[in-house]
Amino acid sequence: MRFKPIIIVYIVCSLALWIISQNQNTTNLNIFETLKMKENQDIINMYLEENKLLEADIQKKVKENKQNLNWINSDPNNHNVVFNGIASVTSGVTFKLITSAEKPQHQPIIRNIHLYGVDTCAPRQKAELNNQEWPCGAVTTAWLVTKTLGQNISCKQAIIEKKIHYAQCFVQGVDLAEIGLEEGMLIISKDNQYPIPTTYLSAEKNAQNNKIGLWSSNFIDPIQWKKNYGSYNPFDNYNVEMNPLNFKTQNYNNKYNYK
């Protein structure tokens, strides 16, 4: 009979250990679930924070782009001037905009237009690809001809300098400067002192990264090229007087330093 208390004690202790073990497993499971929930919450919080930053960045870019695109409207010197007409192309970024007169007996109005914020190879300039020269000035001029030939062009004036109208120009709603940057035919002008639309900057960056158009080759910055070799433009038929100061006749072997 003396074994009976021992057996009872053994059973009670075993039951107690089993209960403790179950409680411990439950506790461990609860801790695991708590940690897992905390980890998930951290991931959610991180995702929400990233979304907030992304949304703020998008809103900032939209605001900047809107300001850049609409700054012309807010400038009292521009008076929201819009010109319409056909183009007589003189380079990859310039043309004569010919606007018909209101009365048949009057002469058409001719304005010198330069696409706002952009530049390209000078008409006589060459670039180099794999040690082979190619006439980048003539090519970019031909490019603008293909975009404007037979088209009605709408130009929104930005500024006027030395009788040149710097303007955002559109053909069937397409911004010529922006499409030129996308296709690597134009570059952002380095002497520009006015706001550049962010769409222009991103278009140029994409073309440059993918070596599209001019960015596939080596070429001198157009401003520097004109300083070195003169600004004479053989495609400008309206320029009947050739100023010898603007045309340097020496052999212009390009030193390609712009890519």
- The pLDDT tens digits of the residues spanning 198-216 come to 999 999 999 999 999 999 9
Give me the percent of the chain exceeding a pLDDT of 90. 54
Structural domains in the chain, sorted by start: 82-246 (2.40.50.90)
pLDDT above 60 (res 152): yes
pLDDT at 34: 57
> Comparing 36 with 183, which gets the higher pLDDT?
183
Q: Does 187 have pLDDT greater than 60?
A: yes
Band (pLDDT 50/70/90 cuts) for residue 258 is very low
Structure confidence at residue 102 as a pLDDT band (50, 70, 90): confident
**Cβ pair 168, 152 in contact under 8 A:** no
Residue 72's alpha-carbon distances to 85, 95, 199, in angstroms, are: 20, 21, 16
Predicted local distance difference test score (pLDDT) of residue 259:
42
Predicted local distance difference test score (pLDDT) of residue 228: 96
Is the predicted pLDDT of residue 225 greater than 90, yes or no?
A: yes
Q: Residue 96 pLDDT > 70, yes or no?
A: yes
pLDDT of residue 191: 83
Higher pLDDT residue, 167 or 12?
167
Quote the pLDDT of residue 250.
41
Q: Which pLDDT score, from 0 to 100, does residue 106 have?
A: 86
Global pTM value: 0.65
Q: What is the mean pLDDT of the chain?
A: 78
Confidence band of 240 (pLDDT split at 50, 70, 90): very low
Average of per-residue pLDDT across 184-190: 96
> pLDDT band at 245, cuts 50/70/90?
very low
pLDDT score at 76: 46
- Over residues 8-48, the pLDDT tens digits come to 655 655 665 566 555 555 555 555 555 556 555 665 566 56
